[in-house]
Structure 1
Amino acid sequence: MVAAPGLRGLWVDAFGPGLRTPAEVAQTVSDAAGMGFNTLFVQTVRRGDCLCLQASVPVAADVQPGFDPLAEVIRLAHARHLRVIAWVSVTGAWNASLPSAGAAQVFALHGPDARDSWLSRRPDGSWKSGADAWLDPGIPAAADHMVRSAVSVVKNYDVDGLQLDRIRYPDGGDWGYSPVTLARYRQETGATGTPAPADERWKAWKREQVTALTRRVALEARAARPGVILSAATIVYGNGPADLTAFRATRTYSEVLQDWPAWMREGLLDVNVLMNYKRDGVNGQESWFDHWNAFAGQQRSGTAEVAAGTSMYLNSPEVTAAQAARALTGGLGWVGYAYRTPTSEVYAQRQTQAQGLAALRGVLGSVMTAEGGSGGAVVWTPTPSARRAVLGRVVGTLRVGGLRVDAFAADGSPLGSTVTDGNGYYGFTDLPAGTAEVRVGGQRWSEPLVLGVTRFPNLLLRTLRAGN
């Protein structure tokens, strides 16, 4: 019997029917509610375009003119007591299969041929990763754009949460070779020449750019909408590690440069949704699935939650139900990918979507309801986090990225250290009540903290002391 309360979510992607017209949205919400899901992860910012009208990026070209998919999802889902998490592809810039959103799309403005291109590149200058182009977190202007895109959704829509997807570098490990990124790396570290992809110092620096981007989005979003649920769709390739030492040997940490355990420890995430896309019965992948779930569960901090995201499109409905049950009985939530392709038969085009949804509905049973199927739908009630955080910025005529910032309590005891991003932003989360002081480059500022995000004034640096 599966009676564990918690998240039962459904990813709704925007690469096919589901969100583009009022009829599609109505069907999507009806199907999800009818199957017992309590949360929709709705693709919103896709590849530099939006399935919405009120964001800082242009409207997707394949949306019915004048229609606002996100607003309609929220209206219908909230009426059915479903939460709506806006799913944002943070570094997404372009996909070959999608129509252009026009001259305002980031790829049109800062694509491969632009003087100020924002794309992540390989050492040879190439920028395509399969059918996609990615923005580089190491380019300050690109990072500003990515933060603004995500936060504009939170500011303008009554979403319950924000999910950060593609908050990393592309697969392969040989990315980040934009001239701007390389120049920043050399300036901030004193390195010379062009680092090799396997250079550990280079990888650590890029990993920090990803974490800094995550930190700023999280704090800006929480400042814009207190109580918003911050989530990330995180990478869990291969077999799960036993501990943090083993994690640092995984592709997650060493290749795509995503240190999500650190994000959890720092309090940047309220819900970590693992993209735990494994196939039971294939090369022992069921144990890989369980190992990642167990490891992620060990990384929880405070009220943060973990959910296993499963690949419904790679599995039979029976396997999907079994994986969901294992996650839930293990104390995690569950999110299925995806509404458009709910079974492997639908993905292989041997079954219609409606047939796949019906087959899935038939086996989920007690997974989707309380008390073994007799207690009705499960309500997910995330525990609100009583967080105190600081968001500030260093400005000046000298470099503002890569500067160490220290935080102290009123009695002088240290609260933590971080480094500024390429735009000079820094932040601290989960601070104790009282007054916090930040120190950087000989400058300092103290401020009493309130629940939520306290914005510190800009700190002007004209000179840097040794060691900064």
Structure 2
Amino acid sequence: MVRRPGPSSTQLCPRCQNDRGRFEPHSNGHEESSGSLSRLTRPFLKEPSMIDNLCVAGFSRLFARLRRVRPRKILPALAAAVFFAGTAPVSASPERQLFVSVIQQPQTLASSEAVLELIQFARRAGITALFIQIYRGDQAWFSSELADDSPYREALKKNGEDTLDLLIREAHASGIAVHAWLNLLSLSKNTEAPILKKYGPAVLTQKPGPEKNKLEDYLIDNQYFLEPSDPRVHEHLLGILGEVLRAYPGLDGIQADYIRYPDSQPFYGYTPENLEAFRAASGIREVSEFTPGWKDWRRGRVTALVEKLSKRARELRPGIIFSTTGCAPYARAYHEAFQDWARWVELGLADFVTMMSYPLDPLDLEENLMGAGARAEGLSNINVGIGAYKMAAKADIFQKHWQICTASGARGCAVFHYGSLHEDPALAGILLSSITRSRKEL
């Protein structure tokens, strides 16, 4: 397959180009748009180069008008006409998937009874795959010598059995696949994380600015982020992956989450080691976000980590499904989190990507799907995350998102998360009723 370029954020118009993927007014009177490239213009074109040297502000103005004139009918039709002509046929039945998070209280893996209740619900709701969170904030819900496995040991003592083992057995008996969901580069707010105890804050990513004096200075969006390019981080995460795969040969897959830089500004990756390596490779001494090649260098480091994890998983378990999550819209992932997830699928590093973006407006979800489909040549290798956790008392919105996903041709529709269905039974009811309708149609 021919390598397609990433979303271009330059050469858009001789007077409005910049390196931030945003448009600014200039002397020709082009209006300002605060949206990112993917927001209106990028999703409508398969190749970013198709609009190089054109003024994208004009496109933004056009599609802004389309949004105001019956947008829910115009945008999907326009998207279908532009992107998906000639692509693979739309799948009639995407996988029905469910995330099970440790943030849910009580935690599902804390008791055998809760595990059996989950499997019973999943079977009734027609769930075909479960993403079970077993690693978060350097805590492990499995036996580990590298992470803090106190959650696993507490559950084992309480139940007298490994509840993840039980979950895998019961899920398989019901025809449900189980993927281990691992939050890898985020330590959450865990200042006691074993990797921090071992190496200190040197393994955390950094933004440019004053010297850090205490651990709290490294907090980013209320969490600590490991540096994606640090060899010590690689060793730790590869070790975690190995522990999981050796302990649970029945797992169907691994879903690697948080494989990225923080998607917030100012940008990150300014560790002394990174700057030294980039200077050695480029010969450039002064490094900033406008330095040619600096973004690509960090993006390449994230991809290198994905490649290592994918290779290790397949060495230890030939045939294992290895997937990742991805930010959305795609331009945000590419330009801000330095996460080229469409490329990971293209290279075969990931079998699929779960797009984790949770807008409330259904139109925003449609636009994200358009952008993802344009970059990945359709949605056959893309799961769509549906943010049920934002939709308590908003069952109508949840239903609309579910309908959009199931009609999109995506590989799967992944509800985030199981605990939210407990909090609002109306959301669970939508899943249950949709599977009932599907069975009647058969």
User: TM-score, normalized by length of structure 1?
Assistant: 0.66
**Separation (CA, whole Å) in 1 of partners of 2:427 and 2:439:** 15
Whether the 8 Å contact between 2:98 and 2:129 is mirrored in structure 1 is yes
Paired letter, 1:144: E
> Residue 323 and residue 201 in structure 1: after superposition, are their counterparts in 2 closer, same or farther (change >3 A)?
same
**Cα–Cα, structure 1 residues 49 and 260, in superposed 2: closer, same or farther, change >3 Å?**
same
Partner of 1:203: 295
| Equivalent residue for 1:171, pick from 247, 255, 263 | 263
Q: How far did 1:236 drift?
A: 0.4
Match of 2:197 in 1: 108
Does the CA-based 8 Å contact 2:185-2:227 persist in structure 1? yes
Partners of 1:263 and 1:214 in 2: how far apart? 8
Aligned counterpart for 1:262 among listed residues 343, 346, 350: 343
TM-superposed deviation, 1:308: 0.9
Q: Distance between the aligned counterparts of 1:361 and 1:179, measured in 2?
A: 49
For residues 220 and 375 of structure 1, what CA distance do their matches in structure 2 show?
43
Quick one: structure 1 residues 21 and 366, their matched pair in 2 at CA, closer, same or farther if it must change by over 3 Å? closer
Mapped partners of 1:109, 1:45: distance in 2? 18
Cα RMSD of the aligned pairs, angstroms, is 2.7
Residue by residue, what CA displacement relative to the aligned partner does 1:350-393 show, whole Å, maximum 9, x if unpaired?
A: xxx3x52x312322356436x733268xxxxxxxxxxxxxxxxx
Question: Which segments of 5 or more consecutive residues in structure 2 lack a partner in the other structure?
Answer: 1-89
Decide whether aligned partners of structure 1 residues 326 and 304 sit closer, same or farther in structure 2, where only a CA change above 3 A counts.
Answer: closer
Q: Deviations over 1:177-198 (max 9, x none)?
A: 22222222222333324x2244
Give the direction of change, closer, same or farther, for the CA distance of 1:31–1:214 in structure 2 (3 Å limit). Answer: same
- Between the aligned partners of 2:379 and 2:365, the Cα distance in structure 1 is 23
1:361-372 pair list within 5 angstroms: 361-365=428-432, 367-368=434-435, 372=438
One-letter amino acid of the structure 1 residue matched with residue 197 of structure 2: A
Tell me the residue number matched to 1:11. 99
- Residue 420 of structure 2 is aligned to residue 341 of structure 1: yes
Partner amino acid for 2:342? P
Q: Verify: 1:118 aligned to 2:196, yes or no.
A: no
CA distance in 1, matches of 2:332, 2:233: 24
Q: Residue 353 of structure 2 is aligned with which of 252, 269, 272? A: 272
Partner of 2:322: 230
Aligned AA (2:230): I
TM superposition shift of 1:94: 4.2
Q: Is contact 2:372-2:379 (8 Å) kept?
A: no
One-letter identity of the residue aligned with 1:207:
R
Calculate the TM-score normalised by the size of structure 2.
Answer: 0.69
Alpha-carbon offset, residue 54 of structure 1:
5.1
Bigger helix share: 2
Offset of 1:88 from its aligned partner?
Answer: 0.8
Following the alignment from structure 1 to structure 2, what is the Cα–Cα distance between the partners of residues 32 and 179?
Answer: 48
In the alignment, is the contact (CA less than 8 A) between 1:138 and 1:209 conserved in 2?
yes
Give, in whole Å, the separation in 2 of the partners of 1:257 and 1:206.
Answer: 7
Partners of 1:294 and 1:83 lie apart in 2 by 28
Quote the Cα distance in structure 2 between the aligned partners of 1:119 and 1:108: 12
Q: Provide the residue aligned with 1:331 in structure 2.
A: 409
Q: Counting strand residues as a fraction of each chain, which structure ranks higher?
A: 1
Q: Which residue is 1:313 aligned to?
A: 389
Tell me the secondary structure at the aligned position of residue 322 of structure 1: helix
Task: Determine the C-alpha separation between the residues in 2 that align with 1:306 and 1:160.
Answer: 17
- Contact 2:97–2:128 at 8 Å: present in 1 too? yes
Q: Which moved more, 1:360-369 or 1:160-169?
A: 360-369
Look up the match of 2:181: 87
Alignment match, 2:283:
190
Could you tell me how far apart the structure 1 residues matched to 2:156 and 2:198 are? 23
Deviations 1:399-419 (A, max 9, x none): xxxxxxxxxxxxxxxxxxxxx
C-alpha distance in 1, partners of 2:384/2:311?
24
The yes-or-no answer on 1:359 pairing with 2:426 is yes
Secondary structure of the corresponding residue to residue 110 of structure 2: coil
Query: Residue 251 of structure 1: CA displacement?
Result: 2.1
The equivalent residue for 1:373 is 439
* Aligned equivalent of 1:387: none
Say yes or no: does 1:72 pair with 2:138.
no
Residue deviations 1:59-113 (CA, integer Å, cap 9, x gap): 14474254534323212212222110111112123425xx946xxx21221232x
Cα distance in structure 1, aligned partners of 2:431 and 2:414: 13
**How many residue pairs get matched?**
336
Percent identity among equivalent residues? 27
Partner amino acid, structure 1, of 2:137: R
219-228 or 144-153: bigger deviation: 144-153
1:160 aligns with 2:252: yes
1:43: which partner in 2? 133
- 1:240 aligns to what? none
